[in-house]
Amino acid sequence: MPCHARSSKSSRRRPSVLPSRPPSRIEARLNLDEPGERNAAELIRRYTTGRWPLWRLLGMHREGLVLYCAVEWLRTGKGRHPEKYALAEVALDHIGVHWHYCDSAAAARTALLAKRAASNSA
């Protein structure tokens, strides 16, 4: 028979693990019914979450079948590629990622804004 005796110690509430800030605005819409777009969403989720994420997402913009992501590489080595920031191009019609290294987070965001401005003017 279970016993429900009170503990002699007072319990402390753990702090909430939920973020205190509201979610950011939607940067790009993907149709998860399409296999390529579903694969891209899964790839970005894997790269940006988990115990050891590869990227910190700085911004995102969709242009046709390409998703542009300004990212900070979190797992960079000091050897071959000491660059830490990049503008990544994630393909939405097949599995593929290309990136162009940038000197700083501001440069990566500027490159992303340039892509956004170019697609808005076209």
pLDDT for 20-72, tens place per residue?
Answer: 444 556 677 888 889 988 999 999 999 999 999 999 999 999 999 999 999 99
In the block, tokens 């990049």 appear at 86
What single-letter DSSP state applies at residue 65?
Answer: T
Tokens, residue 47: 């790269």
30, with CB counted inside 10 A (0-12, 13-18, 19+), is middle
For the chain, give every domain's residue range: 35-121
Instruction: Supply the pTM of this predicted model.
Output: 0.73
